[in-house]
């Protein structure tokens, strides 16, 4: 046995078990999704090939715009916690760091953002706190937009009527500041130096609403290319995407909510009258386009960083 092998530390048993659970969950969800794809293959293929390239381009553009708006919300939150970093530097940290969500686990994106922030001169605690608060505010915004799909879901989504008021109440500056400081204390970091204010929370919340709406528009452009869902269809797509993205976010064991987001999206769209095969086609096309948009925006931010380094 080589010296290198003897010197390599073994990972804790708990970490290995969690990895096994994550991969098992991912395999189970993907197997179920694959079964649905096989069963509905003819309708799926007909739908996916019927999407006009113009609709695909516009749909991808809507996604890229949503990511840009999300980066703005992140910048607003991080700027609140210290000296302003500016949109360009914030986008470099946020967009490249978010690629960590494609790794199974809940903290990889945060860890990558913290490391990128440290290299840019920002404290890790500041980056993590900004990301965490933006995540919470964005989740509440998604819950609010999820109400748009409530008429289609009926009693299956009554839980929204409980979560939405609770989420909105949690956005009060005092409650949100207390919650963020509590997380920092748990992490053995100093609490927030100043309370979060309504202007900051309002801008982050507005950015989240705009990003979710653009993602719903992205889905509607795909659906509209093979039918005529109209304004009602746009409302349904915004609500469907908000619910699906929320479910994917909560499913932290899976990389970027793989499988869970698609299953929820299919369920909401079919409840709105879209056939299962078509809904599955739109969900899978959306997944691919999300990945492309993430790579394009992260690559653009990284290239911009190399071409013109952000000022310290």
Higher pLDDT, residue 277 or 171 = 171
Mean pLDDT taken over the chain: 78
- Contact assessment for residue 51 and residue 225, using Cβ atoms and an 8 Å cutoff: yes
Give 127-168 pLDDT, tens digit per residue.
888 888 998 999 999 999 988 887 776 666 677 778 889 989
Confidence of residue 31 (pLDDT cuts 50, 70, 90): low
Residue 94 pLDDT exceeds 80: yes
pLDDT for 251 equals 57
pTM value is 0.80
- Helix, strand or coil, per DSSP, at residue 172: coil
Do 138 and 144 contact (CB within 8 A), yes or no? Answer: no
3-class DSSP state of 258? coil
pLDDT band at 256 (very low <50, low <70, confident <90, very high): low
What pLDDT was estimated at residue 109? 76
Residue spans of the domains in the chain: they are 40-304
pLDDT for 91 beyond 80 = yes
CB crowding 270-299: b at 16 or more within 10 Å, else e:
bbbebebbbbbbbbbbbbebbeebbeebbe
What is the predicted pLDDT for the residue at 195?
Answer: 79
- Taking only the tens place, the pLDDT of each residue in 43-65 is 666 677 778 888 889 999 999 99
């Amino acid at each position: 046995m080589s010296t290198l092998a003897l010197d390599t530390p073994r990972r804790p048993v708990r970490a290995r078990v969690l990895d096994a659970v994550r991969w098992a969950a991912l395999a189970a969800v993907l197997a179920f999704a694959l079964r649905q794809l096989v069963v509905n293959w003819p309708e799926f293929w007909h739908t996916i090939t019927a999407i006009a390239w113009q609709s695909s381009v516009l749909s991808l553009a809507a996604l890229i715009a949503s990511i840009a708006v999300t980066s703005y919300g992140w910048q607003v939150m991080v700027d609140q916690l210290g000296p302003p970093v500016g949109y360009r530097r914030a986008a470099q940290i946020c967009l490249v760091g978010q690629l960590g969500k494609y790794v199974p686990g809940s903290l990889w994106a945060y860890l990558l953002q913290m490391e990128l922030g440290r290299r840019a001169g920002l404290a890790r605690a500041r980056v993590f706190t900004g990301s965490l608060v933006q995540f919470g505010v964005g989740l509440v915004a998604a819950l609010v937009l999820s109400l748009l799909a409530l008429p289609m879901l009926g009693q299956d989504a009554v839980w929204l009527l409980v979560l939405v008021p609770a989420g909105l109440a949690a956005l009060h500056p005092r409650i949100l500041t207390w919650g963020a400081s509590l997380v920092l204390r748990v992490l053995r970091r100093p609490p927030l130096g100043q309370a979060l204010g309504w202007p900051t929370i309002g801008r982050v919340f507005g950015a989240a609403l705009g990003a979710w709406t653009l993602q719903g528009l992205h889905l509607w452009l795909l659906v509209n290319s093979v039918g005529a869902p109209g304004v009602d269809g746009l409302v349904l797509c915004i609500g469907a995407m908000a619910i699906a993205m929320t479910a994917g976010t909560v499913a932290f064991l899976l990389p970027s909510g793989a499988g869970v987001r698609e299953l929820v999206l299919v369920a909401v769209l079919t409840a709105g009258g879209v056939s299962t095969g078509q809904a599955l086609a739109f969900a899978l096309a959306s997944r691919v386009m999300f990945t492309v948009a993430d790579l394009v925006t992260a690559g653009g931010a990284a290239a911009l960083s190399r071409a013109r380094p952000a000022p310290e």
